[in-house]
Structure 1
Amino acid sequence: MSGSTRTSRILKQTLIFILGLALFCGLMGFAAYLSLGFVLGKSKEMTVPDLRGRDIVDVLEQMETENLGIRVAGFDYSDTLAQNHVVRQDPPPGHVLKTGREIRLFLSRGPQKIQVPELRGLRREEALSHLEARVFKAGHSSLLFHDSIPEGHVIASDPDAASWFPAGSSVNLLLSAGKRPLILRMPDLQGMHAEDMLSTLDRLNLRISELRSASNPDFPPNRVLDQTPPPGSPVLAHSGVGVIMNQPQTPRDALDLIQGMRLVRYRLPHTLIRSHIRGSLTAWGLTFDFVDDVFEGNQEVFLLIPGSSEAHVRIEENGFPVFEARLHPFTGKPDILYAGGRYGFSLMALDPSNLPEPRNAPDRPQEDTNP
């Protein structure tokens, strides 16, 4: 056998082997394809359940039995769901998946927490503004006497400053009621002379808040007839006391001017707007308010001042001074220090001998004297 014939035979056998191997591989690939298609075609499909609001542990137990994969894809803050509960899912509920596929879950971190600000020493209004800026709500306010923190300022907060709480939480405030007041026993002023009465009140840090006069011919003049509060009552230091002094009085004319007394009158302008009137009197070494109230338009304020001592009268309307005068003992004319009415009307003091009839009474403050 020649060499060329042998080579040709070898090549033919090699070609046959290669073709047989290729045919075998093709048959095996085709069989694998058919098998995979059969397996995939038999895979189950299922509807994705609603996992929102559920605890992650419960979700894992359920998905293990249903042959679905779970993957935690992220975390979100939630004001309604506790920590590690499902906030949202992908794919959403109702979506169809084949078994073995994966569901992506986003879990709750719980409510977002914010640090409570430091409020100690702030005024109540400032503290509320700070809480509002941090998205906190104002809770209850309580009062407590405090020696160093001024009245109306914050002593402490609940929750405490620097603690972390969810936005929208309520913060309670403990406010200072100022220093604990000194409680005194009201002295018996009845029968005291005016000078002794004023000295007693000054020594006890009390002040006259209301001074009136009455006539009792069986009682010495310039003596205390009655008092408020009554003797022995508990009173706070620096509080006001009402006193009625005995002053002999005799009717004089239609305005009921009193012998030895001076009458100060102030009429509000004829308007529908109410005004706050504050009148102060300085006499007998003390300064006190004889009126501090709100009046309707065209109302009139009266004050009787004994003519035996020097007095200083000041009247303010809505915080604006409208009348100020110094009254000398038993003089017909006072020294008017200020007479510029807020509404453009001048103020003057009238001599009792020239007083008009009541129906023609002036519209602005007037002071009548009766030496």
Structure 2
Amino acid sequence: MKKKEKKVGKTFVWKLIRPFVAAIFFGFGLLLSGYLGLFVLHAYFATSEIEVPDFSNQDLLSVLNTANKLGIYVEVMRTESNPQLPPQVVIHQIPPPGSKLKKGNRVKVVINQVSVASSQEGGPGETAETIVVPDLRNFPVEEAEELIKSEGLKVGKISEVFHESVPRGCVISQSPPAGSKVNKDVAINLLVSKGGEEEVALIEVPDLVGLRIQEARNVIQQRGLRLGEIEEVEVPEKAPEVVIAQKPLPGEKLAPGGVINLTVNKKIEGLKEVKLRFPLPEAKQPIEVKVVINDQLGERVAYRRIHQGGETVEISIPSKGAGRVIIYLNDYYYWEKELR
């Protein structure tokens, strides 16, 4: 009788404390999930942020190249005149060097535009055909190019950056500066505005994976973007000269003229096509077909796809040299073939 009373007492006590125990475990689970969520969030932002480099006294073209590699944009706030510094170099930047900046954001810079008064008049290099460089600032780039040519000069490099006040397509600054005396056929470099942030319609990056390199190149150009680096790798199970990866990824946004880098499957010499045709057993549930090939290029999964029971599967697999093909259905051995 006493044993029974003790058992009843323990059961009663357990019923009383069980909700508290459950609440403790529930609270611990929430705390753990919250901590893991914060950790993942911190990891995401840590990988998507970069440290802003020091652009001071660097020429604008170098700044643009560095910014492009880091995945950030450059916007010219204004130009200032400092005769003590070379033209087209950065005088000031926002945010300052060492700051953290998320990829896709902008660094605003002030660049040096040497004034007319600072240019030397005359000099040992001056000839009878010396030409005074015209002031091209705020001209549409097409008109600026025509004016350069009409003066007997050449159009040099044309760089584009965002600018808060100069309209898109117009000249922000030039090198050599206006009023400089130069010889005939000297190249005039132009810095052209891409407009302010609100004027620029960002372009969605297309999905290029699976396209041949020339097709991908055409799509990139049609979207107003530029093809960057092309990396070649050997992936035997993929078709040669086809895009297998890209950066940025499809769906991301780029400013007009943004760069897309591609990874392309290299053409492998001596490949042959192995054609396979086999029926699948009748089954109510879908069947996963996996084809593993082992040849001179090594062992790899050359095909993996879901089929319905009773289907006849026809596939073609690139291969090199002697080896063996093994077919698995739902990861169970089904059939194999030797390659000669």
TM-score, length-normalised on structure 2? Answer: 0.27
TM-score, length-normalised on structure 1? Answer: 0.25
Choose between structure 1 and 2: higher helix proportion: 2
- Indicate the structure (1 or 2) with the bigger Cα radius of gyration: 1
